[in-house]
Amino acid sequence: MGKFNKAKFRELVLFAADLLQDHPSRGSTKLNKLLFFSEFSHFRKHGEPISGAEFVHHERGPLARHLLPTISELVADRSAVERIETVFGLEEKQLIPARDPDMTYFSGAEAAMVVNVASRLRGMNASQVSDLSHTEAGWLMTREGEVIPYESSLILDPPNCSTEASIEQAIEVARRYGLAASAE
């Protein structure tokens, strides 16, 4: 699996935020889950994540470790702005791109995956998309603050994957198919 690409992640955050602009709910929770589902779906289908961002188990679902600092950088360099909107009676913090993402960072398959995931999440609010993330094997098999392994996306029976053995099984499946060189 490739290393984390910070520059690519910045552009991925802008790309995802841009895709969310026509969604009824487009706050930080939905942005974060769009990133998670895009990265892990791309790994499941192509054997590698898009940017290699690390996601950790959080009570409200997988959380991109670098998302908040990246948003701060994007706002600081005026690539995006943040605003608070009331959606469905609740306040949500939204990231609004001030420039187009640099799409040269992405392959066609990577861009298509993000668009596809955004389309699937379109009608969902923050609670629904968070609940959906709680059905993912990686979230089920980890505890608060633990890194969710990309290999967990290969487990197709999430309700039965709450043990350390399940993580080892996922890593072994990934190795067998040449998707991971080692358990990192």
Which of the residue ranges 14-18, 82-86, 113-117 would you say has the lowest mean pLDDT?
Answer: 82-86
CA distances to 7, 16, 36, 95, 108 from 19, rounded to whole Å, are 19, 5, 15, 11, 16
Which is it for the CA torsion 155, 160, 163, 165, positive or negative? negative
Q: State which amino acid sits at residue 126.
A: A
In angstroms, rounded to a whole number, what is the distance separating the alpha carbons of residues 164 and 122? 34
In angstroms, rounded to a whole number, what is the distance separating the alpha carbons of residues 138 and 154? 9
* pLDDT tens digit sequence for 117-137: 999 999 898 889 999 999 898
Burial class (CB in 10 A: 0-12, 13-18, 19+), 141: buried
**Are the beta carbons of 89 and 52 closer than 8 angstroms?**
no
What value does the mean pLDDT take over residues 48-63?
95
Q: Which residue has the higher pLDDT, 102 or 164?
A: 102
pTM listed for this prediction:
0.84
The per-residue DSSP string of 114-176 comes to HHHHHHHHTT--HHHHHHHHTTSHHHHT--TTPBPPGGGGG-S-GGG--SHHHHHHHHHHHHH
Helix (H, G, I), strand (E, B) or coil at 80: strand
Asked if the model's pLDDT at residue 161 lies above 70, the reply is no
* Confidence band for 168, pLDDT divided at 50, 70 and 90: low
Which of the residue ranges 28-42, 87-101, 163-177 would you say has the lowest mean pLDDT?
Answer: 163-177
The pLDDT > 90 percentage for the chain reads: 62
In angstroms, rounded to a whole number, what is the distance separating the alpha carbons of residues 109 and 49? 11
Asked if the model's pLDDT at residue 160 lies above 80, the reply is no
Residue 165 pLDDT: 55
